[in-house]
């Protein structure tokens, strides 16, 4: 495939219980996807989606500093209590969402937002931690390693 058209579908649930639906490919259009109309918003999403260790991966969704984005941040208590479902879908030349390859869905939780004079950055982390061999994560306690230092300099031998 030498021509790629990708649309991100952004579904944000804020603490007010309201869902916000936006997509970033069909300019000035409302696109129906999975039974919901997604309005156009000029955002970009970048960051890691997953890795083998299942660590929390960080995702950044960058918006211009428009009123609607300020509302998204405020309704999510500074984007710390929002949850995001981000679907990445391929689009064909006619503008139809492709089923092959299937749209990819990822879930994130908000960890805050950053403002600049022209942009608002919503930051998220993947919603599940350490889905791997060491789950639940091991914890250093006085019972298993003795007296713990007060700073973070640990020497493991």
Partner 1 sequence: MSETFPSSITPSKRDFTLGQYPTRVYRSLAGTTVKRSYGNKPHSYQLTLQYENIADDKVLEFINHYNTTGGGFSRFALPTKVFSGMSTGLTATVQAPYNIRWEYSSPPKVQSVYRGISTVSIDLTGEINV
* Interface residues toward partner 1, by CB under 8 A: 1-6, 24-29, 40, 42, 91, 95
Q: Provide, rounded to whole angstroms, the least separation between the CB of residue 18 and partner 1.
A: 22
Neighbours of 45 (CB within 10 A): 19
Q: Provide, rounded to whole angstroms, the least separation between the CB of residue 16 and partner 1.
A: 25
Q: CA 36, CA 86: separation in Å to the nearest integer?
A: 14
Contacts of 62 (CB under 8 A, 6+ apart): 43, 44, 45, 46, 119, 120, 121, 122
Counted residue by residue, the chain has a size of: 157
Between 2 and 118, CB nearer to partner 1: 2
Q: Provide, rounded to whole angstroms, the least separation between the CB of residue 106 and partner 1.
A: 19
Between 40 and 112, CB nearer to partner 1: 40
Between 39 and 111, CB nearer to partner 1: 39
Between 42 and 101, CB nearer to partner 1: 42
Q: Provide, rounded to whole angstroms, the least separation between the CB of residue 146 and partner 1.
A: 53
Q: Which value, in Å, is the radius of gyration of the alpha carbons in the chain?
A: 19
Q: CA 104, CA 90: separation in Å to the nearest integer?
A: 9
């Amino acid at each position: 495939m030498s021509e790629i058209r990708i649309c991100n579908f952004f579904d944000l649930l804020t603490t007010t219980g309201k869902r916000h639906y936006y997509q970033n490919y069909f300019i000035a259009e409302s696109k129906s996807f999975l039974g919901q109309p997604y309005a156009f918003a000029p955002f970009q999403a970048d960051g890691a989606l997953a890795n083998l260790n299942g660590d929390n991966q960080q995702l950044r969704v960058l918006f211009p500093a428009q009123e609607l984005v300020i509302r998204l941040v405020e309704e999510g208590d500074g984007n710390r209590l929002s949850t995001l479902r981000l679907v990445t879908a391929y689009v064909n030349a006619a503008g139809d969402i492709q089923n092959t390859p299937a749209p990819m869905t990822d879930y994130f939780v908000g960890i805050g937002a950053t403002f600049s004079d022209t942009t608002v950055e919503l930051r998220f982390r993947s919603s599940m931690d350490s889905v791997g061999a060491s789950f639940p994560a091991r914890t250093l306690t006085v019972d298993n390693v003795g007296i713990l230092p007060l700073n973070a300099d640990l020497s493991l031998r």
